[in-house]
C-alpha cells in the first residue's frame, strides 16, 4: 500500500533525482518506521490522506498502532484536535488530518506530545493568490502561477494535478484550509464556463487535503461577461445574474468557499459607481452564495485620489456601515492603514467595526520587503500587528482578539495571507521565504504563537536532515539553529532600518516595482498619493506626515488612551514617530540625539546588520547543502548592496533639506545622489532617427 501511494507525493519526483532544490519545503522525505493506522469506518479522501501522511512520516516506535477517532468534544472547536498516546481525536476529518501533521511535527522536531486540545484561533485560514488567468502573478517573485497559464490554458495535465496536490499538502501541514485562486484585480473570464472547468479540477486536487476553493470576482462581471447593461447591485437582472453564476459554480464545486472582492478601489468597479454602498454590493453577493453556505470577503483596501490623508479613507467609508452587512460577509482589512509597508501601525478598523466580522489580510509575498531577493522573516511583523492593543473594548482588545471572535460575536472568523508561491522549483523564490508561508499558517492556527518558536520549528524541519535523513551533527543547534534563527528574527527590523525607519513609509521606487529607494519619485502629473514626497513631507522645516489632531487627525481614528499617546511626540513610540508627526530635523529624540542623527544611525544599523547576516550565513556553510547554501549566500550579497543604496539614497536625499552633516559614526555614502536618481529614472531611449 505504502509503495503505491508514494509516487504521487514528493518522494518519487524528487528524492535522488535532484539534490536540495528546496522543493520539499518543510516536508522532507525521511526514513520511517512501519505504523498501523486505524481509521473511522467510512469512505473518505481526507482520511486516506491522513493515513498516507502517517505512513510517510512516522518516526515513532516501529510497528506502533495509531488510531484516528472522530468524536464530539466540547473542548475542541472548528478543526481542532487532541493528541494522545493512542493517536488523534477530533470532531472533523480535517481535525484528524491536522492532528496527524502535528504529531509528525512533534516527532520530527523532538517535542513531546501533549494532551491539551489544539484549536485554531481562526475558523478560516486562507491564502490569497494574486494570479492572473494569463499565468502572471501580480507582486509575485517566484515565477509564474501554479494555477493558470497562457498556453493551452485550460488543459489539465498530470503535472498540474501533482503540483496542486503538493501545494495543498503543504497548506494542510500548517492548517491552511482555503485558497483564493485568482487575483483581486480580477478578470471576468474567471467566471466563464471554461475557466470554471479548471477551477473544478483545482478544487478536486485540493479537497483531499481539506483546502477549500474560493474565487476573486470583478464587480462588473454581469456587464463584462454577462452582457448586461449595468452591474448595479440593486438591479433585479444583476441579482439574478449572480444567483445563476453561484448555482453554476456550486454545480462544479459543491464545497466552494465563496467570493473575495476588491471593489471601488484603485480603479476597480464597485457599488459606488451606481451610487450604492459597500454593504449593498457585499450583501447582494452574500445572498447569492448563502443557499450553499458560501461567504463573501469584501476588502476594505479602498482609497481614491485625494489631497486628504489616504490612511483615513477606509475607516471613513466603513465605520458608518457597521452593522449593515450580512453575517456571511467578512470585511478583509490589511494589517496597516496604508499598504503593507515594512512597518505600519495597525489599521484603526480593527476593533472599530463591532457589529461586522473583520479579518486581517497579511502580505506573505514581499512586495515592499525586498521581493524574493532580501531575506525577511515576516512573523515578527505579523505578531506585532496581531498583538497590538486596539483598546476598542477595553485594554487587551488586541487585533487578534478583535478578529477571532474573542471580543465580538461574529458568525465567521478568518485570516488571509497574500501568497508568495509560484512555479519556481523552491516555490517561493528565496529559500527563506518558505518560512513566511509556514509562519502564516502557524499564526493563523495560533494567533499567540511566538515568531521565535515558529522560526526554530521551521529551521529544524527544513534544514536539520539536509543529508537525506542522516542525523544532524552534535553541534547543529549551537552552530546552525541558534545563529540562523537569530538572523531570521532580526531580518525584518534590519529592512525597516535601512529603508523606512522611525515611521517613514511608502518611499520606495515605483520604477523597480517597489524594490529599492525612491524618496524623490514623483513623475509629473502623477497622483500625489502614489508618490513618496506625499508620505515623507521632507522640507527645510522637518520630515514626517502630520496625522496629529492638528494635522490630518488620523490619530483620532484610534481609541484612547492610544490616540493621545500617538498624538504626542513625547509618548509616540519611535517606530511610529514620522508616521504621525512632522518634526524638525533637530527634534530631540528619547535617546537624546537629534532626529537627523537618529535617522542616520538607523539607516547605518540596517546596513551593518545585513553584513552580519552574511557572516552568520557563511559560518553556517558546513551545516547546509551546497545548493541552498549558495543560493542564500548570493541573495544576501545582493541584499547587502541594496541596503547600502537605500541608506545612501535616503540620507543624501534628506540631507538636501536638513543641511546637516552625516554623523561620523555612520559609514560615509559610496554612491552619489545623482547616480542613484539616474539609476532609478533611466533617461528615455532616444527616438529612432527618421528615415530621410
Ligand atoms: O499594494 C498594492 C499593490 C497592488 C495590489 C493592491 C491591492 C492587487 O501594489 O499590486 O493589487 O495593493 O492590495 O489590491
**CB distance 563 to 556 below 8 Å:** yes
Q: 143: Cβ–Cβ under 8 A, 6 or more apart, which residues?
A: 137, 422, 423, 424, 429
627 given a catalytic annotation: no
Distance CA 81, CA 623 (A): 35
| Residue 196: strand, helix, or coil | helix
- Nine cell digits for residue 224: 463584462
Distance CA 409, CA 354 (A): 8
**CB distance 345 to 305 below 8 Å:** no
Rounded to 5 degrees, φ, ψ at 53 are -60, -40
CA contacts within 13 A on the Cβ side of 524: 0
Q: Which residue has the cell 512555479?
A: 423
The secondary structure of 649-686 as a DSSP string is: HHHHHHHHHH--PPPTTSPPPSS-HHHHHHHHSPPPPP
CA-to-CA separations, 474 to 60, 480, 481, 489, in angstroms, rounded: 21, 11, 12, 24
**CB distance 48 to 208 below 8 Å:** yes
Domain 124-326+370-379+413-450: CATH architecture, name and number where available: Alpha-Beta Barrel (3.20)
CA-to-CA separations, 104 to 57, 85, 107, 110, 355, in angstroms, rounded: 6, 13, 5, 10, 40
Distance CA 34, CA 670 (A): 60
Report the Cα 389 to chain-centroid distance in Å: 21
Report which DSSP code applies to 26. Answer: T
278 lines ligand 1 (CB under 6 A): no
**How many CB atoms neighbour CB 450 within 10 A?**
14
Q: Name the catalytic one among 123, 339, 384, 456.
A: 339
Question: Counting beta carbons within 10 angstroms of the beta carbon of residue 193, is it exposed (0 to 12), middle (13 to 18) or buried (19 or more)?
Answer: exposed
Q: Which residue has the cell 500587528?
A: 385
Q: Which residue has the cell 468524536?
A: 71
**CB distance 627 to 20 below 8 Å:** yes
CATH topology of domain 3-109: Chitobiase; domain 2 (3.30.379)
625 given a catalytic annotation: no
Domain coordinates in residue numbering, the chain: 3-109, 124-326+370-379+413-450, 495-545+582-679
Distance CA 529, CA 306 (A): 7
Q: Name the catalytic one among 131, 367, 431, 598.
A: 367
Ligand 1 centroid to residue 142 C-alpha, Å: 17
Rounded to 5 degrees, φ, ψ at 60 are -85, -160
Distance CA 264, CA 623 (A): 51
Using alpha carbons, select from 305, 306, 295 the residue that is nearest to residue 260.
Answer: 295
138 lines ligand 1 (CB under 6 A): yes
350 lines ligand 1 (CB under 6 A): no
Domain 495-545+582-679: homologous superfamily in CATH:
Alpha-glucuronidase, C-terminal domain (3.90.1330.10)
340 lines ligand 1 (CB under 6 A): yes
Q: 638: Cβ–Cβ under 8 A, 6 or more apart, which residues?
A: 373
266 given a catalytic annotation: yes
Q: Which ligand 1 atom is the nearest neighbour of the CA of 334? A: 13
**CB distance 383 to 356 below 8 Å:** no
> What is the model's pLDDT at position 689?
54
> What is the model's pLDDT at position 691?
47
Distance CA 458, CA 26 (A): 7
Strands of 35-38's sheet in order across: 35-38, 64-70, 87-90, 81-83
> What is the model's pLDDT at position 681?
80
Q: Which ligand 1 atom is the nearest neighbour of the CA of 340? A: 1
The secondary structure of 415-446 as a DSSP string is: EEEE----SSTTSSSSGGGHHHHHHHHHHHH-
262 lines ligand 1 (CB under 6 A): yes
Ligand 1 centroid to residue 333 C-alpha, Å: 13
Ligand 1 centroid to residue 128 C-alpha, Å: 12
Question: Which residue of 128, 129, 130, 187 sits with most ligand 1 atoms within 8 Å of its CB, as the best mutation to test the pocket?
Answer: 130
**Where does 240-356 show beta strands of DSSP type E?**
258-261, 295-299, 329-334
Helices (H), 226-301: 236-252, 278-289
Ligand 1 centroid to residue 159 C-alpha, Å: 30
Distance CA 284, CA 279 (A): 8
Distance CA 497, CA 455 (A): 21
| Residue 525: strand, helix, or coil | coil
Question: Which residue of 145, 339, 361, 366 sits with most ligand 1 atoms within 8 Å of its CB, as the best mutation to test the pocket?
Answer: 339
Tens of pLDDT along 580-593? 999 999 999 999 99
506 lines ligand 1 (CB under 6 A): no
Report which DSSP code applies to 23. Answer: T
Question: Which residue of 137, 139, 333, 419 sits with most ligand 1 atoms within 8 Å of its CB, as the best mutation to test the pocket?
Answer: 139
**CB distance 636 to 630 below 8 Å:** no
Tens of pLDDT along 319-334? 999 999 999 999 999 9
301 lines ligand 1 (CB under 6 A): yes
Ligand 1 centroid to residue 5 C-alpha, Å: 40
Q: Which ligand 1 atom is the nearest neighbour of the CA of 138? A: 10
Ligand 1 centroid to residue 273 C-alpha, Å: 20
| Residue 564: strand, helix, or coil | helix
The enclosing H or E element of 128 equals strand 124-128
**CB distance 522 to 533 below 8 Å:** yes
For the chain, how far is it from start to end, CA to CA, in angstroms?
Answer: 77
Residue whose Cα lies nearest atom 11 of ligand 1: it is: 185
Q: Which residue has the cell 522543493?
A: 23
Rounded to 5 degrees, φ, ψ at 550 are -95, -5
Distance CA 634, CA 141 (A): 16
Residues of the chain with pLDDT under 70: 1-19, 151-153, 307, 466-469, 682-692
pTM: 0.95
**Where does 18-98 show beta strands of DSSP type E?**
35-38, 64-70, 81-83, 87-90
Distance CA 334, CA 128 (A): 12
| Residue 531: strand, helix, or coil | coil
| Residue 69: strand, helix, or coil | strand
Amino acid at each position: 500500500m505504502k509503495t503505491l501511494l508514494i509516487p504521487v507525493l514528493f518522494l518519487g519526483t524528487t528524492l535522488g533525482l535532484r539534490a536540495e532544490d528546496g522543493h520539499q519545503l518543510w516536508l522532507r522525505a525521511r526514513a520511517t518506521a512501519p505504523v498501523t493506522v486505524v481509521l473511522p469506518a467510512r469512505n473518505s479522501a481526507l482520511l486516506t490522506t491522513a493515513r498516507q501522511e502517517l505512513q510517510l512520516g512516522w518516526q515513532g516506535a516501529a510497528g506502533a498502532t495509531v488510531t484516528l477517532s472522530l468524536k464530539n468534544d466540547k473542548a475542541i472547536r472548528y478543526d481542532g484536535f487532541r493528541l494522545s498516546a493512542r493517536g488523534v481525536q477530533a470532531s472533523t476529518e480535517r481535525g484528524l488530518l491536522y492532528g496527524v501533521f502535528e504529531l509528525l511535527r512533534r516527532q520530527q522536531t523532538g517535542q513531546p506530545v501533549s494532551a491539551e486540545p489544539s484549536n485554531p484561533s481562526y475558523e478560516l485560514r486562507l491564502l490569497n493568490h494574486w494570479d492572473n488567468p494569463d499565468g502572471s502573478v501580480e507582486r509575485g517573485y517566484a515565477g509564474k502561477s501554479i494555477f493558470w497559464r497562457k498556453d493551452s490554458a485550460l488543459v489539465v495535465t498530470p503535472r498540474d494535478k501533482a503540483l496542486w496536490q503538493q501545494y495543498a499538502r503543504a497548506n494542510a501541514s500548517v492548517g491552511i484550509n482555503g485558497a483564493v485562486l485568482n487575483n483581486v484585480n480580477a478578470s471576468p473570464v474567471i467566471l466563464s464556463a471554461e475557466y470554471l472547468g479548471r477551477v473544478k479540477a483545482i478544487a478536486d486536487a485540493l479537497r483531499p487535503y481539506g483546502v477549500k476553493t474560493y474565487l476573486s470576482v470583478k464587480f462588473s462581471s454581469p456587464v463584462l461577461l454577462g452582457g448586461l447593461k449595468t452591474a448595479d447591485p440593486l438591479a433585479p437582472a444583476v441579482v439574478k445574474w449572480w444567483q445563476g453564476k453561484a448555482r453554476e459554480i456550486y454545480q462544479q464545486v459543491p464545497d466552494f468557499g465563496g467570493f473575495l472582492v476588491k471593489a471601488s478601489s484603485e480603479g476597480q468597479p464597485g457599488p459606488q459607481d451606481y451610487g450604492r454602498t459597500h454593504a449593498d454590493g457585499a450583501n447582494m453577493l452574500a445572498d447569492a452564495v448563502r443557499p450553499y453556505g458560501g461567504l463573501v470577503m469584501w476588502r476594505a483596501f479602498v482609497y481614491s485620489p485625494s489631497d486628504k490623508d489616504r490612511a483615513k479613507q477606509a475607516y471613513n467609508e466603513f465605520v458608518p456601515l457597521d452593522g449593515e452587512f450580512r453575517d456571511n460577509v467578512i470585511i478583509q482589512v490589511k494589517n496597516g492603514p496604508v499598504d503593507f509597508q515594512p512597518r505600519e501601525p495597525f489599521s484603526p478598523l480593527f476593533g472599530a467595526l463591532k457589529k461586522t466580522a473583520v479579518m486581517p489580510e497579511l502580505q506573505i509575498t514581499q512586495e515592499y520587503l525586498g521581493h524574493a531577493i532580501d531575506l525577511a522573516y515576516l512573523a515578527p511583523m505579523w505578531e506585532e500587528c496581531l498583538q497590538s492593543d486596539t483598546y476598542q473594548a477595553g485594554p487587551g482588545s488586541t487585533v487578534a482578539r478583535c478578529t477571532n471572535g474573542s471580543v465580538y460575536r461574529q458568525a465567521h472568523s478568518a485570516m488571509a495571507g497574500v501568497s508568495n508561491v509560484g512555479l519556481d522549483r523552491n516555490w517561493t523564490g528565496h529559500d527563506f521565504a518558505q518560512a513566511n508561508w509556514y509562519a502564516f499558517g502557524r499564526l493563523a492556527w495560533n494567533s499567540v504563537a511566538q515568531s521565535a518558536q515558529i522560526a526554530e520549528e521551521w529551521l529544524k524541519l527544513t534544514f536539520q536532515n539536509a543529508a537525506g535523513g542522516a542525523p544532524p551533527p552534535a553541534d547543529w543547534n549551537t552552530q546552525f539553529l541558534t545563529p540562523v534563527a537569530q538572523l531570521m528574527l532580526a531580518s525584518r527590523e534590519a529592512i525597516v532600518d535601512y529603508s523606512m525607519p522611525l515611521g517613514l513609509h511608502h518611499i520606495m521606487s515605483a520604477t523597480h516595482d517597489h524594490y529599492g529607494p525612491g524618496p524623490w519619485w514623483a513623475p509629473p502629473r502623477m497622483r500625489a498619493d502614489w508618490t513618496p514626497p506625499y508620505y515623507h513631507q521632507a522640507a527645510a522645516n522637518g520630515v514626517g506626515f502630520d496625522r496629529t489632531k492638528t494635522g490630518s487627525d488620523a490619530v483620532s481614528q484610534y481609541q484612547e488612551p492610544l490616540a493621545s499617546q500617538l498624538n504626542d511626540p513625547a509618548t509616540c513610540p519611535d517606530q511610529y514617530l514620522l508616521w504621525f508627526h512632522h518634526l524638525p530635523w533637530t527634534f530631540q529624540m528619547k535617546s537624546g540625539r537629534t532626529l537627523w542623527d537618529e535617522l542616520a544611525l538607523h539607516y547605518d544599523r540596517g546596513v551593518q546588520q545585513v553584513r552580519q547576516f552574511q557572516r552568520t550565513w557563511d559560518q553556517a556553510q558546513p551545516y547546509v547543502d551546497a545548493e541552498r547554501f549558495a543560493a542564500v549566500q548570493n541573495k544576501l550579497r545582493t541584499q547587502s548592496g541594496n541596503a547600502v543604496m537605500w541608506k545612501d539614497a535616503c540620507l543624501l536625499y534628506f540631507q538636501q533639506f536638513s543641511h546637516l552633516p552625516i554623523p561620523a559614526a555612520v559609514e560615509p555614502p559610496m554612491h552619489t545622489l545623482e547616480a542613484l536618481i539616474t539609476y532609478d529614472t533611466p533617461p528615455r531611449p532616444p527616438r529612432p532617427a527618421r528615415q530621410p
